Amino acid sequence: MKRRFFSHKVALLSILSALNVSTSATEVVWSKHLIHLHNAGFAYLVDPQTDQVTATFETVKGGGLGTTTPNAQKLYIGGAAENQNEVVILDIEKPQLIKKLKTGNRPKHPLASPDGKWVGINHWGLDNGKLRVTFIDTSNDSIAKNIDLEVSNPTPKGVTSMHNAWSLDSKLFFTLDRVDNELVVINVETWQVKNIKVDSEPHYAVPSPDGKELWLIVEGNAESKPSIVVYDLTTPNFPVLAKMEMPLIGEEVVEAHHGNFTQDGKHFFALNRGPSKDARGREVAIFNSKNKQLVHRLTSASNGIGHTYNSPDGKYAVVTNYGNNVISIIEVATQHIVKDLKIGNGRMGHIAFTPDSKYGYISNEKDGVLYKLDMEKLTVIKTIVTSGQNGAGQILNVWTNVFEELPR
């Protein structure tokens, strides 16, 4: 049976209605499967009742990130490796391959809209010197629109984009231009595009839980500190409401990565990873989401930290990374690290939780396995072999707008 997520739903709808924010998102359904993606070109379905792999799919090279639809029927995986151009679409209920769809140069991170009508995809490479954003119509899994964005350099060094997000009403798609350091806002009703300049490479955009703001993580560089820029989504030109810099106390390397709101929406966690070739950052900066003030900071035993994944009950935020094989578990109420766990042989990339928050399944990039974490005892209780090879990626079992936050 599918698991339906109703927690605080009535209260949330009342709040959004009072704020005049559309609530057209469909009901979010938890899949009966855990889906483990692998960059070597495979996806594994795991039954959390038995902790056994029940199906294996050949996908696409670089297929380490994807999205489910809100109804948990389908999965879209981007092939971000060099020389790849396909998005793989799976029916995860039957389960079976639906199709492989060519979208452009190195599709990075497909993301389904809250209403389930669209999948927006950015690309790590350029197409004919332009930065492509593709929209797939989920009703027939065909390309509904390609938007090719002009950039100043047709042969840039490094990747050209990063991650995406949707407004809660599914009208605005947020993506990133790292060639010209711009936040890109696309209105899917009119296909109008707005480009907003930022100080350095933008990395991660997060809509606020009330739908009124967009919080953008900007990586920082030699001239500017890593920062969080907050935009007002209730005003057509999206003016800046605030800009907060990370404190960066005792950090040897600097580069902001991801950030997310706690499940209660009261705080925002921003993480300093450090550059990809020197991932030693350890700082978690915690901001009050209402007044935009820094309220606390942490230094984790995990390094090269990238993500703080929320447990469904909002009790914990689990820090995963690009540096070592340690996860740090933050108790959200006290804003302190309650446990550091050394797990496996490679870096700790992603985690997915059971809907009741009893267990977490963590991927180790080098091992190619899932480690089952008891969230009450905060100990690893089982190892589940998927690929058993280097390159393990994201774990999914529910639709998320940004993949460290869960449905509220």
Tens of pLDDT, residue by residue over 169-182, are 999 999 999 999 99
Contacts of 106 (CB under 8 A, 6+ apart): 62, 79, 80, 81, 82, 84, 85, 123, 124, 125, 159
Contact between 95 and 45 (Cβ < 8 Å):
yes
Q: What is the mean pLDDT of residues 92-106?
A: 97
Q: What torsion, rounded to 10 degrees, do the Cα atoms 257, 262, 268, 274 define? A: -20
27: pLDDT confidence band, cut at 50, 70 and 90? confident
End-to-end CA distance of the chain: 20
Q: What is the mean pLDDT of residues 58-72?
A: 97
What's the pLDDT score for residue 18? 36
pLDDT at residue 19 greater than cutoff 80:
no
Task: Pick the closest to residue 75 from 47, 48, 45 (CA basis).
Answer: 45
**Sheet strands (E) in 116-232:** 118-121, 130-137, 142-150, 165-166, 172-177, 182-187, 193-197, 202-207, 213-218, 227-232
**CA 23, CA 356: separation in Å to the nearest integer?**
25
Please state, rounded to an integer, the average pLDDT across all residues of the chain.
Answer: 93
Q: Domain 27-396: which CATH class?
A: mainly beta
Q: What is the pLDDT of residues 130-178, one digit of tens each?
A: 999 999 999 999 999 999 999 999 999 889 999 999 999 999 999 999 9
**Sheet strands (E) in 266-325:** 267-272, 283-288, 294-299, 305-310, 316-321
What's the pLDDT score for residue 186? 98
Token pair recorded at residue 89: 């679409």
Contact between 227 and 256 (Cβ < 8 Å):
yes
Task: Pick the closest to residue 360 from 407, 306, 316 (CA basis).
Answer: 316
Q: What is the mean pLDDT of residues 81-109?
A: 97
Q: What is the DSSP letter of 107?
A: B
208: pLDDT confidence band, cut at 50, 70 and 90? very high
In one-letter notation, the amino acid at residue 194 is K
**CA 240, CA 232: separation in Å to the nearest integer?**
6
pLDDT at residue 79 greater than cutoff 90:
yes
Total-model pTM: 0.93
**CA 122, CA 264: separation in Å to the nearest integer?**
29
Q: What is the mean pLDDT of residues 266-280?
A: 96
Are β-strands 240-245 and 256-261 bridged in parallel, bridged antiparallel, or unpaired?
Answer: unpaired
Length of the chain: 408
Our measurement of the distance from residue 168's CA atom to the centroid of its chain's CA atoms, rounded to an integer in Å, reads 15
What's the pLDDT score for residue 16? 39
What's the pLDDT score for residue 309? 98
Q: Which helix (H) or strand (E) holds 38?
A: strand 34-38
